[in-house]
């Protein structure tokens, strides 16, 4: 479900791209510190953006250090030094990974998914202790999501609502007095965007396995992503445009100076580019772009 919120590199300043990479690398290093090397593979673009925007909304400028890593043990690269915000994002990433694991198991249990769930068990306990409020939010969301999916309701807006509300609540829990209704609109629609992109990206797989997907129920005679894009292109564009319009309108009301370049690039260009990469007449599963 994750990996859809990322900036549009061709429209980024070099300094912003360097800072973005520093945040990503910083999260990777912090993840190793708290949860070991294997969990570093769970670090994704969505949680990186959350780290960046939360720093920005709180007005906290991250400290940049230089160091090497396992992937590049020779050349030093900049990375963001661990602080309270990045530590919280590391724990949140584990909670989100657990949320996805539980959702995957509920959809179609398998030996591989059981191994993932077992691998995350102790790590999730630790993350729950670190972020009890966010853990409660995701637990309640999981129950609501499962109840909704059992009803097989063919509505993308309603299908995405539980996860979107959860993200709004998580932003509120993280920002406290820095939270505003406009920030809530951004958080809600970011999650809605992720949910929609995932539904499009996984459409063919969900059809083959008979798993819940609101788009599959909305277009019952379609079984491939190619057909979905050709048939529902206008509707999907309208969904994306509505989400992006709500985000941009709300963003105009938000004051942000720290990390503003990355945040603006992502919200104005990155999301649109990501949607186009998934709906650009390609019938294969969207390739996960690496920065």
Domains and CATH numbers, the chain: 9-278 (1.10.600.10)
Residue 167: what pLDDT?
98
Burial of 159 (0-12, 13-18, 19+ CB in 10 A): buried
pTM: 0.92
Mean pLDDT of 208-215: 92
Q: What angle do CA 251, 268, 279 make, to 5 degrees?
A: 130
Q: Indicate the pLDDT class of residue 75, thresholds 50, 70 and 90.
A: confident
Instruction: Inform me whether the pLDDT recorded for 133 exceeds 50.
Output: yes
Mean pLDDT of 248-259: 96
Look at residues 45, 37, 21 and name the one whose alpha carbon lies nearest to residue 93: 45
Q: Indicate the pLDDT class of residue 284, thresholds 50, 70 and 90.
A: very low
Look at residues 18, 7, 90 and name the one whose alpha carbon lies nearest to residue 49: 7
Percent of the chain with pLDDT strictly greater than 70 = 96
């Amino acid at each position: 479900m994750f990996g859809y919120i990322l900036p549009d590199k061709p429209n980024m300043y070099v300094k912003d791209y360097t800072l973005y990479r520093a945040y990503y690398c910083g999260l990777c290093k912090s993840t190793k510190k708290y949860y070991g090397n294997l969990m570093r593979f769970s670090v994704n673009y969505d949680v990186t953006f959350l780290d960046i925007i939360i720093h920005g909304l709180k007005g906290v400028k991250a400290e940049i250090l230089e160091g090497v890593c396992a992937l590049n043990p020779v050349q030093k690269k900049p990375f963001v030094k661990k602080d309270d915000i990045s530590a919280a994002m590391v724990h949140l990433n584990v909670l989100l990974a657990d949320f996805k694991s539980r959702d995957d198991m509920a959809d179609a249990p398998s030996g591989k998914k059981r191994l993932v769930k077992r691998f995350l068990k102790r790590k999730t306990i630790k993350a729950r202790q670190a972020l009890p409020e966010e853990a409660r939010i995701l637990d309640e969301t999981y129950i609501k999501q499962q109840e909704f999916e059992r009803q097989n309701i063919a509505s993308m807006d309603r299908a995405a609502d539980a996860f979107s509300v959860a993200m709004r609540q998580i932003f509120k829990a993280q920002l406290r007095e820095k939270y505003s209704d406009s920030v809530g609109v951004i958080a809600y629609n970011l999650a809605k965007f992720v949910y929609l992109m995932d539904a499009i990206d996984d459409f063919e797989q969900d059809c083959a396995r008979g798993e819940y997907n609101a788009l599959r129920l909305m277009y019952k005679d379609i079984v491939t992503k190619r057909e979905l894009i050709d048939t529902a292109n206008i509707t999907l564009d309208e969904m994306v445009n509505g989400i992006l319009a709500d985000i941009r309108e709300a963003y105009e009301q938000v004051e942000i100076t720290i990390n503003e370049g990355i945040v603006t690039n992502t919200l104005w260009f990155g999301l649109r580019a990501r949607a186009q990469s998934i709906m650009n007449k390609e019938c294969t599963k969207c390739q996960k772009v690496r920065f």
